[in-house]
Amino acid sequence: MVQSYILKKKILITGNSSRFCNYLKKELNGGNIYYTSSKEFNILNLKQMNKFVKKRKITHLIHLAGLSRPMSMHDSHINKSIDLNIIGTSNVVKVSQLNKIKIIYFSTNYVYPGKKGNYKESDDLNPINNYAWSKLGGESAVQMYSNSLILRLCMTDYPFTHKKAISGAYSSFIYNKYVAMIIPYLLNEKGILNIGGKKREIYQFVKKFGNKSIKKIPLSKVKNFPKDSSIKINRFLKIIRKKKLKKIIL
């Protein structure tokens, strides 16, 4: 059912080299799906972008490209963070609006204040670090375009890539491979959607779902990290149940 539904669309995905794309390629593939590198679809080159989408008659653009980790990079390379995450995303919106393309934008749950947790999509925003500010900057452009979906993701890599996990901080982590499974079912959704799992201490999440021997690092040792960035996922759960996506582990 999903395959025939997808075949009617021309989908462009930015950020081809990301870990997430390795999983997404298993869920979204075919002659109508275009995974692009920065060479062929440079989000700082409006002319090139516009030419690419027109030639292929793109209907949907899933925007993953940008500067992400380590988060400290957004302190030491502010210009690059602004260029890729704010200006680049704004360019994606411009091209999409011009060509009537649906945008799905990957943001982060770190746009919330990260103090009390259990944030719903309509809650106030107040990022704790430059990475989250850069993603919120991108959100601002996407919000101006009604044919869009903003995903506030509480996502981490599978398998967990670090030797230590933070203790004393709570989140709603979900592994990237499970997020990839649901993306094909979100192509017609609009607005803002929190995506994550159940609220857990980060260290306990990693220990339960991946690495039994993971070591702890106290929250006090980590700079500019939220104490409780957990999110409400009511809308996300409704979609999972409606589409009967039983393989997704929260």
Distance between the two ends of the chain, CA-based, in angstroms? 24
Q: Specify the pLDDT at position 70.
A: 80
Three-class SS state of 209: helix
- Distance from C-alpha of 237 to C-alpha of 210, rounded to nearest angstrom: 23
Contacts of 237-241 with C-beta under 8 Å, sequence gap 24+, read: 239/182, 239/185, 239/186, 239/189, 240/182
Q: Specify the pLDDT at position 2.
A: 59
Alpha helices in the chain (DSSP H): 2-7, 19-27, 46-56, 73-76, 78-81, 88-99, 130-143, 176-182, 202-209, 234-243
Cβ atoms of residues 189 and 182 within 8 Å: no
Q: Specify the pLDDT at position 98.
A: 98
Q: Which residues in the chain land under pLDDT 70?
A: 1-3
Question: For the chain, which domains are there?
Answer: 2-158+173-200+229-243 (3.40.50.720)
Longest pairwise C-alpha distance within the chain: 51
pLDDT in tens, 104-151: 999 999 999 999 999 999 999 999 999 999 999 999 999 999 999 999
Q: Specify the pLDDT at position 211.
A: 87
Residue 243's contacts (CB-CB under 8 Å, 6 or more residues apart) are 182, 185
- Distance from C-alpha of 50 to C-alpha of 61, rounded to nearest angstrom: 12
The dihedral through the CA atoms of 202, 206, 212, 217 has a sign that is negative
